[in-house]
Structure 1
Amino acid sequence: MSKPPAISDRHRRTRNDHAQETAEDYVEAIDEVNGASGKCRVVDLARQFDVSHVTVTKVVARLKREGLVTSEPYGPLELTEAGRQLAAKSRRQHEVVYQFLLAIGVSEKVAAIDTEGIEHHVSKQTLDCFKRLTEQLQGK
């Protein structure tokens, strides 16, 4: 039996996961809004996340520094290639977790809510297991 990771390692991973969570949520939302209406503005994100314009502006500034988003002053938000890749990865993780929760009998409503937290904190290994078990449970 292997030794569990040190407590400091587990907490470090959780802090890193939290730092990435907002970026994943925002790039996924920008991608969705752009796909639905052709353009995404700060006000769209403020409405979607039920936060202030200032909060969104600060997050978008961070996403720009990280090379995930571009925009001109007062212009719509656009994802960079890195932003599009992160949005696609987030969407795939979301779907794997959601389908797993449904496969084990969680209601659609609860699965939708729980997926929003789990998807950001699950390792690739765990996601692979979720996917494999989902396929087994669905008889695929």
Structure 2
Amino acid sequence: MASVAIDDYLKTIYHHTEWQTAKITPSQLAAKLGLAPSTVTEMVQKLSAQDLVSHRPYGPISLTDAGERRAAAIIRRHRLIETWLVREFGYAWDEVHDEAEVLEHAISDRLLEGISARLGHPRFDPHGDAIPDADGHVDREPFVRLDEVAPGHTGRVLRVSDSDPDLLRALEAAGIDVGHTVTVTGRRSVRVDEGSLVELPSGAASLVWLSA
């Protein structure tokens, strides 16, 4: 089994439960990977045989301890590279994902740790996602998704999903990026840093996580 393919499966399962608690189903995993359900079912069985995932037929999929460690290691590589590209090479936060996908499989452990040291061992990537440490541990404070809170809630932007580059750029232009404070004023409107009101693009509120 190709190592890259294994990593892609484990990363996708890991990502699914980072910012919510429901375990991923085989159909969700197939949709996220853009693969046929039968292909995913076969691969999940192989991963289960290697003790990387826990899965019963037709049930949800979760990572074992070994799977979690391996997923955290590759995610650490990806997010450190994204942070490196933004800080050292002037990439915008909507440009780094595809580059990191390639580089995460190419650089050595020595170079990766050199990058981490040069950056001051960052805990979060440009999108606010936690960077696992060398042991796979992450720091994450209580959070809530912007579209799930009532008007009046105020919180710091902890994370902005990079799943839609166009919405990512729109949110950045509106000042809604990691570290800023927003107060929810309506279903699609917020006040940024106690300043002006901002009307959110359709679908954008589901991409932003605030401190709870």
TM-score where L is the length of structure 2: 0.51
Aligned positions, number: 118
Opposite residue 125 of structure 1, the aligned amino acid is R
In the alignment, which of 10, 22, 25 is matched to residue 27 of structure 1?
10
Q: How far apart are 1:47 and its partner, in Å?
A: 1.0
Alignment of 1:96-115 (within 5 A): 96-103=80-87, 104-115=89-100
Alignment of 1:72-91 (within 5 A): 72-91=56-75
Q: How far apart are 1:57 and its partner, in Å?
A: 1.4
> Does residue 68 of the first structure (1) align with residue 68 of the second (2)?
no
Structure 2: distance between partners of 1:47 and 1:25: 13
Give the 3 Å change call, closer, same or farther, for CA 102–32 of structure 1 in structure 2. Answer: same
TM-score where L is the length of structure 1: 0.75
Q: How far apart are 1:110 and its partner, in Å?
A: 2.2
Highest RCO, 1 vs 2 (Cα 8 Å, sep ≥ 6): 1
What are the superposed Cα offsets for residues 58-115 of structure 1, whole Å, 9 maximum, x if unpaired?
2212211221011111111121110111111122111111111111112222211111
Aligned-residue CA RMSD (Å): 1.8
Q: How far apart are 1:129 and its partner, in Å?
A: 2.4
Structure number with the higher helix fraction is: 1
Structure 2: distance between partners of 1:38 and 1:68: 19
* Percent of paired sites with the same residue: 28
Opposite residue 14 of structure 2, the aligned amino acid is D
> Does residue 46 of the first structure (1) align with residue 30 of the second (2)?
yes
What are the superposed Cα offsets for residues 26-84 of structure 1, whole Å, 9 maximum, x if unpaired?
11211222342411111111111111112211221221122101111111112111011
Structure 2 counterpart SS, 1:107:
coil
Q: Bigger radius of gyration, 1 or 2?
A: 2
> Does residue 59 of the first structure (1) align with residue 29 of the second (2)?
no
Which segments of 5 or more consecutive residues in structure 2 lack a partner in the other structure?
Answer: 121-212
Q: Which residue of 1 aligns with 2:126?
A: none
Q: Which residue of 2 aligns with 1:13?
A: none
What are the superposed Cα offsets for residues 13-36 of structure 1, whole Å, 9 maximum, x if unpaired?
xxxxx9212212211211222342
